Amino acid sequence: MSLMKRNLGRLGIRDRIIFNMLSNRPLRVSELLNLSVGDIDLENKTFTIFRSKNTKTRVLSLPKETWNDWTEYLRDKKNGGDLAQRIFDVTLNMMEVWVKNLS
């Protein structure tokens, strides 16, 4: 894990966010991939999981190391106005391959 964290600079902004979110928050991969633009509150530095496994809504803080990346990554998406748009264009299968390649 520490080796992966040291190599984060080589990743693109989307992949850095994904890695930091999964490694720093109690979060399932499917919950992360289902996040939409409206689920992220940059002002309060939180995000909301509406479709949790136990069907409860959870509000979690964004990892501090992702604040700048989130601001940059969502700049265009938030200006587009479609708050229901999924943030990451990644499928679960793609994510499994990505995680295997990182290990």
User: Which pLDDT tens digit goes with each residue over 48-97?
Assistant: 998 666 778 889 999 998 999 999 999 877 666 678 888 888 888 887 78
Pick from 97, 73, 71: nearest CA to 86: 73
Place of tokens 């720093």: 24
Residue type at position 98: W
Position 63 scores a pLDDT of 93
How much is the average pLDDT of 21-36?
Answer: 88
- The yes or no reply on domain 2-94 and CATH 1.10.443.10 is yes
Helix, strand, or coil (residue 65): helix
Pick from 73, 71, 65: nearest CA to 9: 65
pLDDT tens digits for 39-48?
A: 999 999 999 9
Q: What pTM, to 2 d.p., does this model score? A: 0.78
